[in-house]
Chain A
Amino acid sequence: MSTENSSASSAVEDSPKSEQVTRLEQTNPDYDPNVVVETQNLTKIYRDFWGRQKVRALNALDLEVRKGEIFGLLGPNGSGKSTTIKLLLGLLFPTSGRALVFGKNATEVTKNERIGYLPEESYLYKFLTAEETLDFYGRLFDMPAAVRKERVESLIEQVGLTWAKRRQLKEYSKGMTRRIGLAQALINDPELILLDEPTSGLDPLGTREMKDMILKLRDQGKTIIMCSHLLADVQDVCDRIAVLYQGDLKELGRVDSLLQVSDETQIRAKNLPESAAEEIRAVIAKHGGEVLSVENPRTTLEELFLDIVRESQARPGHRSSGVESN
């Protein structure tokens, strides 16, 4: 399932764990501008008030997200996706390891100039209207009034809330809140966008629109990290994914290669008569092959996902190979 030759993503294996822990300088001397996010041995253990270990939410995560890609974090509830994003934002501090964003430590405040963040649930001030909300966040980026006004207007239109822009957010439906949340994340025209469950609570239509918006952002050259437990979302939009399960990285790679089944061949044809099919079956049989089915072109992500879960339950722990699937 995994092969060595990777072109789009390569750097994970050349960061040995021994030196990751102690380096604390903010700017990496070998900082590659194409690497937007890098985590090294990133570990988070939640502790209670007395310092006793409560949950190991993330375990020695090594990731690299490159400029211009849509990176998906996939995993069931409680697998550490949100924890990862919060670590990248500096909302949490790593127990060990480190998270670099634009080559800077994740706790550095100036990196936020170039980041947009849509939290799990849109934690917005309910007593503000959509306009006031965006204006407020615009001020936090020190944007002058004229720029702010224009940006607020265009974003509200972009997320399709023009009709409700003067209404307080407490009157908003879940879907509308999600949209204004996205608009808020885009107020500074960020280079890196972190989306925590962007489609949660959206109806199929809204989900489709959200996905289209994400793809459009990618086309504008932005880097996107999104996490989701909804497989279809991830499959549709992500270039690469990491599958997390109980804090452990289980799979990492390009979506298409992860789903490619290399020991199967698929033949698609149009208007093939029944007799031809029989012939093909015969040919396959002649070569010692076995016909599986004629329809299902690929495994679905769902299958992959359930596989991982099943396997993890049987053999818990880190994924055996530290090498990225391709």
Chain B
Amino acid sequence: MVVERFPDFFQWIGPGSLLFLAILVAAILLGLFVGYVVAVFRHGPFEAFYVVAQVIGDAIPDFLGMSLRRLVAIARLTAKEALRRRVLLVTFAIFAAMLLFGGWFLNSSSEHPDRIYVNFVMWGTQMLVLLMGMLVSAFSLPEDIKNKTIYTVVTKPVRSSEVVLGRIMGLGAVCTALLALMAVISFFFVWRGLSHEHQLVGDTQTLSSFVEVDQGSRKSRFSGRRVSENAVMEAQTTQDSGHSHRLELVEDIRDADSPPLVASNVVDSEKLPNGRVKYRRVVCHPIGGHTHPVTVDGEGKDARIQLGSSVGYFRARVPVYADSLRFRDRAGDMKDRGTNVGNEWGYRGYIDGGSSGIQSSLARGLFRFSGLRESLFRRTEVIPLDMSLSVFRTYKANVEKRVMAGLEFESVPDNPEVDNRFVSDMITFETNEYTLQTLPIPRKLVGKLLAPDGSIVGQGEYDLFDDYAKNGNLLLSLSCRDPGQFLGVARADVYFRAGDTLYWLNFFKGYLGIWCQLMIIIAMGVAFSTFLNTPVTMLGIVVMAILGFYSGFVRELTLPDTDGGGPIESFVRVITQQNMQVSLETGVLTTAMEQIDKLLVWLLAGLTYLAPDFSQLDFSDFLTYGYSIDPQRLIVAMVITAAFVVGLTILGYFALKTREIAK
């Protein structure tokens, strides 16, 4: 999963609120200016000053005079009004239809059916709900004005801010209820759609459906892949939900008094001459991220073998990410970015494996962790380290052969001049290109204790938490052990897995992201419709939403050094069929065009700052790839949403206050 932001609320809130205030002040100044210009036309330059001053002077008592009872009354009325609209019903009907047809064409035989299911429901819900929020909010206030029902409301001591915020709250409540319903239904849809069971292929559901493993090749008779080391027999399950699993009978040899790894799937046990016990167990091989628990009823040949319902789809991994990722190049020099291999978009940096002449490259990816404590982890004997590494090959050797990588753990002492530090021996492993792989890191790691001058003070097994990361800091250095190959990583690609959280909770956290987007859309709809009519309001929302979803891309467009100039210039170039790099004929027209372009680009850049950054509110990737959504992210999303609701309420207040309602 691509993660580009690692928000820390307390680090974010400072610059975040500063940006918010800056935008607010800029918007107010702009509003004052526009208001003044409009007032000059109506009243002349001097009186306009008084008019503007009066609007500002009224604003503070108006906001202070807001009453919760009035807000709730307006919110309730708005909700009742919205419930009578057909949009909600239609939205729900489309949602139901989407699930009905979705369940039919979604193919669970793909490699990751869970991802497809989650992606499908979340994307569908998001689109539907945002569309609904836009329609419902863009119609609400204009309808009220058109029907003149607002006359009897604004002639009561109702503040304009209450009209705006009350509407946002009312529409928000109705849409939230519908979204919650859709979330619950989506959850059960995903759950039901993915859970399934299998039977053994064969005459009986016993060991007699198993066949001997081909001891010569040790390849499966069914899949052709290598079987597990301790497998002696294998079987296959029925094709259900588009796939079948392979079952193996494995031998599990234990000391006399120690139990088998898993007890429920033991078929028989046998005492060996050396006093140890050989358990024979049936295990089910995972496919596409899930497996089935095997239970064996009885003992020996006639024991009934049963496969339970699928497990493993519904995961919410809690990652412990590094604080930073830096690189060392082949010569060992520190770099902020990895080697650029040229064909990537820069998300991952590459670690050079060195050339074949030099045996070991000094290139490393250095992940620096802090706050690493035993208490973060559910299980602490073996700590899972998850990695998704990409490989860039400079030569296609044996494609079957995997690229080797190495890992070292180092402590980061508080005072490097004085304190000794632990450095582990290198752990080498085969990489799984692009797919998530989990490396179990034993808690006790063999390594050395080095004095500040580099001399070896001690050697042996040291504890990951008590020795290496004694102060919570740990340096994990990743290297590529195959000369001529490169290993690509980003900060989010390597993390310790602390454990899993409740899947359903995470699912609803994911929907909270959609909720934030929904609330911002509704607030925009209500605020815009205080001064725009319904179609223009909808257009405004669409523009802002597009800017919000693609703010990064649009901001890149507005950078000064883009080829081909701004919107008008590029349009001229397109219709006159001129090359992007050729400079245009100089002249008044060209200059004027360039100046207008500058203004437009400047406006567009400004708009990208006003538009909500939906990428910070979109958690669908977390659910799709099975990651727990960090509470920090939720808090940041909530604060962003609140800021937008507040900002838009202020905008709506001024627009409504200075508008002639009865016109």
Contact = CB atoms under 8 A, between A and B. Distances in A.
Contacts of B69: 139, 142
Interface stretch (B155-163, B228-236, B284-292, B555-563): B155-163
B84 A127 contact: yes
A113 B157 contact: yes
B50 interface: yes
B661 A137 contact: no
A112 interface: yes
B80 A140 contact: no
B67 interface: yes
Contact of A184 (B62, B73, B152, B661): B152
Which residue, B58, B67, B69, B663, has most C-beta atoms of chain A within 10 A?
B69
B86 to A, nearest CB: 14
Contacts of B42: 95
Interface in A259-298: none
Contacts of B159: 109
A128 B156 CA distance: 18
A142 B47 contact: no
B81 interface: yes
Interface string B119-160: 000000000000000000000000000011111111111111
Which residue, B54, B149, B660, has most C-beta atoms of chain A within 10 A?
B660
Given A93-B660, A140-B70, A115 B155 contact: yes
Given A110-B157, A123-B148, A136-B73, A91 B660 contact: yes
B81 A125 contact: yes
Interface string A125-144: 10110000000110111100
A124 interface: yes
A142 to B, nearest CB: 5
A139 B147 contact: no
B156 A140 contact: yes
Contact of B156 (A91, A108, A119, A137): A137
B77 interface: yes
A214 interface: no
Given A24-B54, A127-B81, A140-B157, A119 B660 contact: no
A172 interface: no
Interface string B471-511: 00000000000000000000000000000000000000000
Interface in B20-75: 41-42, 47, 50-51, 54, 58, 62, 65, 67, 69-70, 72-74
B358 interface: no
Contacts of A137: 152, 156
B77 A125 contact: yes
B157 A124 contact: no
B151 A123 contact: yes
Interface in A30-48: 46
B89 to A, nearest CB: 16
Interface size grouping (class) on chain B: 35 or more
A24 B50 contact: yes
A63 to B, nearest CB: 19
B155 A91 contact: yes
A139 B151 contact: no
A285 B120 CA distance: 103
B77 A136 contact: yes
Contacts, number: 88
Nearest to A21: B47
A124 B152 contact: yes
Contacts of A105: 54
Contacts of B51: 24
Interface in A3-52: 22, 24, 26, 46, 51
A112 B157 CA distance: 5
A86 interface: yes
Contacts of B149: 123-125
Interface in B76-107: 77, 80-81, 84
Contacts of A113: 157
Which residue, B150, B156, B661, B662, has most C-beta atoms of chain A within 10 A?
B156
A237 interface: no
B153 A92 contact: no
B550 to A, nearest CB: 33
Interface in A131-167: 136-137, 139-142
Given A127-B84, A140-B158, A91 B152 contact: no
B47 A141 contact: no
A142 B159 CA distance: 12
12 contacts: A24-B51, A86-B662, A90-B155, A91-B660, A92-B663, A109-B159, A117-B151, A121-B148, A125-B81, A128-B77, A136-B73, A137-B156
Which 8 A-B residue pairs are closest in the complex by CB-CB distance?
A139-B73, A91-B662, A140-B156, A123-B148, A112-B157, A117-B155, A86-B662, A24-B50
Given A108-B58, A137-B156, A140-B70, 15 more contacts: A24-B54, A89-B155, A90-B154, A109-B160, A112-B156, A117-B155, A119-B151, A119-B152, A124-B152, A128-B77, A140-B74, A140-B156, A140-B157, A142-B69, A142-B70
